Structure 1
Amino acid sequence: MLRSKAFVKRTRKGNVVKVVKEHYLRDDIPCSSPICKHCTHNSAPVLSAEPRSTSTLKPHYLIPDTNVFISQLDIMEHPAIKDVIVLQTVREEIRHLSLPVYNRLNAILADKTKRFYMFANEHQRDTFIEKLKDETPNDRNDRAIRVSSKWYKDHLKTNGSGEDIEIVLLTDDRGNREKANATGIKSSDVASYVESIKDVPELLDMLSAPKAAAGDKIVYEEHLSPAQIQNGIKKGNLIQAPFNISMHNVLEATVVGEVEGEVKTVYILGRKNFNRCIQGDIVAVELLPKSEWKRGASVAMEDDEDEEKMFGEEEMDEINKKNAAMSEQDGEAEPTGKVVGIIRKKWRPYCGFIVKNTAPSQKDAQTATNVIFRAIDRRIPPIRIRTAQASTLLGNRIVVAIDSWPVTSGIPMGHFVKTLGSSGDRETETEVLLLEHDVPYQEFSKRVLEDLPVEGERWVVLDKHLNNENRQDFRDLNVCSIDPPGCTDIDDALHVRTLSNGNYEIGVHIADVTYFVKYGMPMDTEAAARGTSVYLVDKRIDMLPSLLGTNLCSLRSNVERLAFSCIWEMNDDAEIVNVKFTKSVIKSKFSFTYEEAQTRIDDERMQDDVTKGIRVLNKFAKILRQKRMEAGALTLSSPEVRFNLENDSQDPVDVEMKELKETNALVEEFMLLANISVAKMIYSKFPSSAMLRKHAAPPTNNFDQLRKTLAEKGFTLETENSKALADSLDRAVLPDDPYFNKLVRIMTTRCMMQAQYFCSGTEPESDFMHYGLASPIYTHFTSPIRRYADVVVHRLLQACIEADLSYGEELTDMTKMKELCDNLNFRNRMAQQASRSSVELFTSLYFKNKIEVEEGRILRVLKNGIIVLVPKYGIESIVYTSEKAGGPSPFTYDDDDKSLVAGDIKLKTFDSVKVEITVEGDEHGMRQKMNMSLVEPFVEGISVVPTVKKRVIEEDEPKSDKKAKKTKK
């Protein structure tokens, strides 16, 4: 039956148009129950003929309403919940309310083992209903759910094959249940239903926390309404920005926004001013009066002990006192503010543990009780959950989700999701860090793997790839790649040859991933969702299946491969005469490590064509680098380490700083040049939808502390632009301290903003600048195996060079490109943090049962401690200047000198100290923590007497038997 509905609407241009929508109603949509003798099933029925029964219900199918999926999705995802009918009404309502929940629901529907059936009730003649006069859309949808439930009940009763299967409407809306019961539909709230499933008791713990009771004491201020927030942002009274909590102080956070006409870092101090926001939330911040701005140094506060209690009035008062103590009325004031609203919550499931002293005693172990959960990420506040499994869960890593954070509760309320494994187990801890950083690490699905070439590893380059695809044949060139040792996903390769006019042809050849990964195929969708490969110490989480990443796309030596090439003609001064881009076929002659390539450059006896080519590339790279430096490009630094892992156990047996060679810079220069050349090209063709990468200039007050500290050493830090900053860094050299300049560059890196992908049509051209590279335009083109942004740029570039290429809205839709950039920025940030967390995990494993004393450098002076970097291991930690954090200290903080003083001993930024390094757990043994204690200078009361226990290799152990390998990170 065909129904039509006509209405008028106004377009964006102001025109009024008539819209007619056709709505088909059918009577042949199957119920998908195998007991039904009436429906024709085009495929095997989804629902079971023998669904679950419970202590209060006969065998039944469930029909949940929308709010069950919104608020109790973890329960619906549990393997115990099967044979569920998802109505089209519910699915569409969820799509409009929450896209993440909608995507998770679709994943459940796609899982055949779950037996969730999507019933198109809005297109079934007997279940479609019109909206009544004065009926709200929500009431209409509730009625549609009840009508469909009644239809299912009657349909199965009339057409069943004798089995008696009930239909149960699952809803927490009491009014909806009462109306359902009045029409003979059996219904249940989620809690009662879960309680009736006696063989799966953990479901009770997964119930979302109840809302706060009316009349409870108000702890926090109410948030402003969305309209008030938007109005405040438009007027400039409020700052909209991501909320970032300090790694060294859980009660200090920052946002970046405009203050008095200048972009500055704004501090937010204390839970009261945090006002119930979580790390990463997009918040609205109101500046506090200048009399309340932050003065003096920050304090170190890794944990707030009071938070482990269930906050009451006394605990909140105590915390507020601690917050007030952080702002003394001396020193230069820095902007502070308070959160007045949350624009977008970034809540997610959190990994952590139950605090032991909040769990019930053994005799009450089976009674459901409130306990406190602490996340591994110290920046996440404690979460109150209710569980009857507390004694069982102690000592395990578990996952908890936040349900709500009312103004009457000092901490958020949540529910148990699942158990990961035992604390301290390396596999468990690795899964924890992947979950904590939202890294998709599941195996590639069958649908994705079906997109791989059917030839598998036997795929080879054929004549058709040259003849039909306008590819250049570069197989005769001396192409080679230069990568870290053990690299298997080789994205890039280089060549150079002399032209007849005396100039040079230099080519950068990049793996042609888009030949295999076409837009819209499942593998492309999966790669877009993953965004990037993630490099951990002991493994790599690939963006693409390994057949492509480490084989068919990898530009390995002596194998023909498809590539996308950027070819320059350059003169002797490395000036670009012209540039062209082409799809190509190459056959790399060598796959060098950085060390092997460096050896060829240095060994004058080697005069073969490939070695001569590498020397030419190295010469040009130095010229290009010099030009970048003259333009204001920054040379920054960060401490990076490489672990040697024992082959069998994968335990770390040694750790060393990464050594950079000339050849690292050689490759880097040509990759940067290719990225800049491609950025110019795609922006010329797609001025509104090119995917570019920008690096914003940091707020000037980010440098305030470093500027003052360097001034005491006699150096001036100029920050007007990147050129001035680069020159300042070059001048910051102490002849008697070779590590000083690198330390300054490490500290400067901490002042920088993060580089971001963006869609060219969403930013003015003046904001395209990449501050760190001093380039007016930039993108990513050179690593498509491990970065999805490069895949998109390859498609844009191909559309630029192939005039007859037909391309879709994926390259021209500015909104979609912006959404993709936002996801890639998030994935890239999470991948970096996961990599750092992996290094921290293996560092903890390396130092387990060891005590070592090493030289460190002070990066920052706090009121109650110093932050020390140990160059040998690239690790940093807080060294408290008291026996206990927050306790009495022999040191006093000198605000004028920005130092800690005890008698004639003074601790200042850049100073050398000796520290004892150990790894210890907290009092509950659930958090492994790098601990540093001061050894030199010796201060009575806080310095430790060193007891060094270094790893000793048995003298008679043959070196050849020490099986260890180096991993790429």
Structure 2
Amino acid sequence: MLQSKSFVKKTKGGKVVKVVREHYLRDDIYCGASICKTCDSSVARLSLDASTILVLDTNIDLLENSAIDEVVVLSVVLEEVKNKNLSVYNRLRTLCSNLQRKFFVFSNEHHKETYVKAMVNESPNDRNDRAIRVATQWYQKHLGSAVQVLLITNDRENKRKANEEGISAETVESYVKSLGQPELLDLLAQPASEDMVIDSVEDIRPSKRKVVYSEHKPMSEITTGLHRGIYHQGKLRVNRYNPFEAYVGSESIGDEIVIHGRTNMNRAFDGDIVAVELLPQDQWHAEKSRIADEEDEEDESVHLAPSSTDDAPRNTNVQGSSADATPSRPSGCVVGVIKRNWHSYCGSLEPMPMPAGSGGIANALFVSKDRRIPKIRIQTRQLGNLLDKRIVVAVDSWDRLSRYPSGHYVQTIGEIGDRETETEVVLIENDINSKPFSSQVLACLPPLPWSVSPEHLSDPNREDLRHLQVFSVDPPGCRDIDDALHCTLLPNGNFAVGVHIADVTNFVHPGTPLDDEASQRGTSVYLVERRIDMLPKPLTEDICSLRSDVERLAFSVIWEMTPQADIISSRFTKSIIKSCAAMSYVEAQARMDDSRLVDPLTTDLRNMNSLAKIMRQRRIDRGALTLASAEVKFQIDTETHDPLDIGMYQIREANQMVEEFMLAANVSVAEKVLKHFPFCSLLRRHPTPTKEMLEPLLRTAAAVGLNLDVSSSKALADSLDRAVGNDPYFNKLIRILATRCMSQAVYFCSGDLSPPEYLHYGLAAPLYTHFTSPIRRYADVVVHRLLAASIGISKLPEIFQDRPQLTSIADNLNYRHRNAQMAGRASVELHTLIYFRKRPTDTEARIVKIRSNGFIVFVPKYVFYSPYFGFW
């Protein structure tokens, strides 16, 4: 049965268009209950002896507890959660795919008896609530009196209407109380308004409620204000060194707006999309030249003192220090939160006195490990067990009458300071899925041992390249080898050069549980002491890994190149290879440097390195940036996994050689897929930085007498080359600072932007994508499918016809890629801390930023930054 859904949307050009989409309804969608006599029992997930089946529309933290089972998750609820919070959505998806739990996802939006059309003047939220009630009622009618179907909702109006319609409905709290497990009550979201106001550890008193923050403007007023230029929209970024200072990048004024103090932040969290009103210009000032420490939380209370009037002051005038050397910048205050970025936070508790007659319920302030997050007040029945633990807390609300947001306990991680505990904190804070792969995912893998079959050898779409001298060069100990190279001298004096990439898509097919899991994970995550794979280990370390002396399937890019590294021709083919050597960077470099070695493999390495040097110089001449980051290597104890040594990672010519050919392959593939699929290719861009983004770099350079030209990437690259001082680390520090002033490179769908916006600024490349690491990046899997279709050896999967879905995939990849980077950095910081905890060390450092009460240093030997308090 076919329905049509229509809606209006605003295009990037500002036009409003009506979009009509087909919506298919079916009558063969099963209920998932084993007790059902009419549906296919092979897909059932709910128990045969279940007396009650729950339909929930709220509280993921409660669902994750094993006491809650026999749950139907409606597709309308899944979609609503996805739109609100991608992190929570991914947790819910993981929960539903866990075969140990009795959860069933019911596609109520595609079932002809449960799909509901929006009525005239009905809000999307009201329509979704009605859809939940209709689905619950259908379940009860479908299953009959043998089982009770219970709707669990905290929406009063939804519960009232459910009861009027004869549907059994309860609030989450009342249902949990009926289970007789009081500790589960800690997992419940706190209501937005409390009878008790808790503003400090010393201050627990009955509510004589006073206004602390300004009321947020209604969305209608914000929308009007944005159109008229009265308000400015952007993402709030809280200063990592001073959580009482934040910035909102505004396209409308072409500059960042500085937000000083929690009062002016007005209950906004780091990452929230907010509406900001500029303060009068006489209240603009420079960034506060101060590193906030723990005592500043109490100092901030001066600015947060409750007002005796009906409204709190929004424009507290916090003047900058007289020591500030920077000019005043546009300053403002938050007038509304357009989209929340709340998620679960890791940290520990500050105890608070337990009031008499509290019934064992204690109030406590949660302090996040992320200094940018304000303290969160929670209630708990297990305070004594939590005081020395790392725990997870979720935010529920932030009343304008309370200094702190309200939240609830989610889970205990472990002892504070324990390495495993703190590593788990890193994973949770960055929304990294480290759970084992499900049995459905593992069922998609071919049986081991795996080898190339006669069918592969006879495949007309796959070329046999086993005769080529193929080799790989990777970090030491690398087991997930997804790229290999070859370089053959041709009779005409040119070279046949190949980049061979593991053919992951031969095993990861669209629409399978394996593909869905890889799509959600997005990327492998590399921590100091372990790797969290995007794909199961049998694929990453055996079946796909291009190990030496074994035949493997590959996707190859092969060029004919002149000795001057000019590309004469390019071709793309699926292939079979047999690597003759899997070398580390150190081993490859040693071969190239040893003049006594003249064997064929060493000769190929030297030829490739010669070509790579020419290619690299050509890129630099075009304006590619040679930036820098603080890269660290650890020596790890194989038994305890504690760090034994720490130092700077050394980049060799062998590293640069491999990098150069990977970049060239990515560019060649980008050109190929875009030519064939101009509107649905997955590409990667690096936006040109604005002058405002580069301001900290320019300010720092000017302070030491350097004049950097940032008019183009070529000008900046040349300026950085000239930025050489007496200090051997000076140039590296300037390049690190330049790196930090850049925006992130991002994935995007080619149909979403115009060609001039495809530019990769850092590489000075008009076109770029990711093709060379499909074992560890899902973006490369997508691009492999595009390339296979472009050379005519497979059909393009249907998802490429759905541009909004492609955009959603790109957004998730960007989110996952950034989180993986942040987790890697946090792991380095954690292991650096563990290393020095037992090894007090004197070493030299470089001051990179001075504040009024301290400075920030870079320690070259150990490659880390650290704030130092109390300098003066």
| TM-score, with structure 1 as normaliser | 0.79
Taking the aligned partners of 2:85 and 2:18, their CA distance within structure 1 comes to 31
Verify the 8 A CA contact 2:238 2:270 in the aligned structure 1. Answer: yes
Taking the aligned partners of 1:590 and 1:192, their CA distance within structure 2 comes to 65
Amino acid at match of 2:176: V
Amino acid at match of 2:774: P
Structure 2 match to 1:965: none
Structure 2 match to 1:76: 63
Residue 211 (1) aligns with residue 202 (2): no
Structure 2 match to 1:933: none
Q: What's the secondary structure of 1:548's corresponding residue?
A: helix
Q: How does 1:818-967 map to 2 (within 5 A)?
A: 818-882=807-871, 889=872
Q: What's the secondary structure of 2:390's corresponding residue?
A: strand
Q: After TM superposition, give the deviation of residue 255 of structure 1 in Å.
A: 3.0
Deviations 1:292-332 (A, max 9, x none): 33326532114464369999953799999794446888742
Cα 1:524–1:314 change in 2 (3 A) is same
Q: After TM superposition, give the deviation of residue 660 of structure 1 in Å.
A: 1.2
Amino acid at match of 2:748: F
Structure 1 match to 2:676: 685
Taking the aligned partners of 2:458 and 2:138, their CA distance within structure 1 comes to 59
Structure 2 match to 1:727: 718
Q: How does 1:600-679 map to 2 (within 5 A)?
A: 600-679=591-670
Aligned counterpart in structure 2 of residue 781 of structure 1, from 771, 774, 778: 771
Verify the 8 A CA contact 2:26 2:111 in the aligned structure 1. Answer: no
Taking the aligned partners of 1:782 and 1:762, their CA distance within structure 2 comes to 24
Cα 1:664–1:239 change in 2 (3 A) is farther
Of residues 640-649 and 212-221 in structure 1, the stretch that sits farther from structure 2 once superposed is 212-221
Of residues 107-116 and 411-420 in structure 1, the stretch that sits farther from structure 2 once superposed is 107-116
Larger Rg over CA atoms: 1
Q: How does 1:152-551 map to 2 (within 5 A)?
A: 155-156=144-145, 170-172=152-154, 188-198=170-180, 200-212=181-193, 216-234=209-227, 238-258=231-251, 260=253, 263-295=254-286, 298-303=289-294, 305-306=296-297, 314=305, 323-325=318-320, 331-356=326-351, 358=352, 360=354, 367-454=360-447, 456=448, 458-551=449-542
Deviations 1:847-902 (A, max 9, x none): 113321110001111222111011011111111234xxxxxx3xxxxxxxxxxxxx
Taking the aligned partners of 1:642 and 1:329, their CA distance within structure 2 comes to 37
Of residues 227-236 and 129-138 in structure 1, the stretch that sits farther from structure 2 once superposed is 129-138
Cα 1:297–1:698 change in 2 (3 A) is farther
Q: After TM superposition, give the deviation of residue 222 of structure 1 in Å.
A: 3.2
Q: After TM superposition, give the deviation of residue 561 of structure 1 in Å.
A: 1.2
Taking the aligned partners of 1:682 and 1:120, their CA distance within structure 2 comes to 35
Verify the 8 A CA contact 2:376 2:395 in the aligned structure 1. Answer: yes
Cα 1:780–1:115 change in 2 (3 A) is closer
Aligned counterpart in structure 1 of residue 706 of structure 2, from 712, 715, 718: 715
Unaligned runs of 5+ in 2: 10-15, 196-207
Verify the 8 A CA contact 1:311 1:411 in the aligned structure 2. Answer: no
Q: After TM superposition, give the deviation of residue 181 of structure 1 in Å.
A: 7.0
Unaligned runs of 5+ in 1: 52-59, 883-888, 890-969
Q: How does 1:798-817 map to 2 (within 5 A)?
A: 798-802=788-792, 805-817=794-806
Taking the aligned partners of 2:61 and 2:301, their CA distance within structure 1 comes to 25
Q: What's the secondary structure of 2:800's corresponding residue?
A: coil
Cα 1:14–1:49 change in 2 (3 A) is closer
| CA RMSD, Structure 1 to Structure 2 (Å) | 3.9
Taking the aligned partners of 2:417 and 2:370, their CA distance within structure 1 comes to 16
Cα 1:129–1:519 change in 2 (3 A) is closer
Structure 1 match to 2:200: none
Cα 1:63–1:667 change in 2 (3 A) is closer
Q: What's the secondary structure of 1:647's corresponding residue?
A: coil
Q: After TM superposition, give the deviation of residue 790 of structure 1 in Å.
A: 1.0
Taking the aligned partners of 1:15 and 1:110, their CA distance within structure 2 comes to 36
Taking the aligned partners of 1:323 and 1:869, their CA distance within structure 2 comes to 30
Verify the 8 A CA contact 2:26 2:112 in the aligned structure 1. Answer: no
Structure 2 match to 1:754: 744
Q: After TM superposition, give the deviation of residue 706 of structure 1 in Å.
A: 3.2
Cα 1:121–1:347 change in 2 (3 A) is closer
Aligned residues: percent identity?
44
Verify the 8 A CA contact 1:302 1:378 in the aligned structure 2. Answer: no
Taking the aligned partners of 2:112 and 2:806, their CA distance within structure 1 comes to 40
Q: What's the secondary structure of 2:815's corresponding residue?
A: helix
Amino acid at match of 1:344: K
Q: What's the secondary structure of 2:413's corresponding residue?
A: strand
Q: After TM superposition, give the deviation of residue 801 of structure 1 in Å.
A: 1.3
Q: What's the secondary structure of 2:798's corresponding residue?
A: coil
Q: What's the secondary structure of 2:822's corresponding residue?
A: helix
Deviations 1:16-38 (A, max 9, x none): 99999978699xx889475x9x8
Verify the 8 A CA contact 2:291 2:854 in the aligned structure 1. Answer: yes
Deviations 1:317-358 (A, max 9, x none): 9999794446888742223333333333221111111113x2
Structure 2 match to 1:913: none
Amino acid at match of 2:678: P
Taking the aligned partners of 1:476 and 1:25, their CA distance within structure 2 comes to 53
Of residues 822-831 and 228-237 in structure 1, the stretch that sits farther from structure 2 once superposed is 228-237
Q: How does 1:82-161 map to 2 (within 5 A)?
A: 82-84=69-71, 108-111=95-98, 113-116=100-103, 137=127, 144=134, 155-156=144-145
Taking the aligned partners of 2:660 and 2:634, their CA distance within structure 1 comes to 27
Cα 1:371–1:152 change in 2 (3 A) is farther
Q: After TM superposition, give the deviation of residue 607 of structure 1 in Å.
A: 0.4
Verify the 8 A CA contact 2:136 2:149 in the aligned structure 1. Answer: no
Structure 2 match to 1:742: 732
Q: What's the secondary structure of 1:341's corresponding residue?
A: strand
The number of aligned residues is 847
Q: What's the secondary structure of 1:556's corresponding residue?
A: coil
Verify the 8 A CA contact 2:211 2:306 in the aligned structure 1. Answer: no
Q: What's the secondary structure of 1:816's corresponding residue?
A: helix
Q: What's the secondary structure of 2:795's corresponding residue?
A: coil
Amino acid at match of 2:773: S
Verify the 8 A CA contact 2:74 2:106 in the aligned structure 1. Answer: yes
Taking the aligned partners of 1:409 and 1:789, their CA distance within structure 2 comes to 44
Taking the aligned partners of 1:596 and 1:829, their CA distance within structure 2 comes to 31
Verify the 8 A CA contact 1:722 1:774 in the aligned structure 2. Answer: yes
Taking the aligned partners of 1:743 and 1:91, their CA distance within structure 2 comes to 46
Structure 1 match to 2:203: none
Cα 1:601–1:9 change in 2 (3 A) is closer
Taking the aligned partners of 2:229 and 2:604, their CA distance within structure 1 comes to 57
Verify the 8 A CA contact 1:7 1:19 in the aligned structure 2. Answer: yes
Verify the 8 A CA contact 2:76 2:132 in the aligned structure 1. Answer: no
Verify the 8 A CA contact 2:474 2:481 in the aligned structure 1. Answer: yes
Of residues 189-198 and 758-767 in structure 1, the stretch that sits farther from structure 2 once superposed is 189-198
Taking the aligned partners of 2:28 and 2:182, their CA distance within structure 1 comes to 43
Q: After TM superposition, give the deviation of residue 702 of structure 1 in Å.
A: 3.1
Cα 1:756–1:111 change in 2 (3 A) is closer
Amino acid at match of 1:478: Q
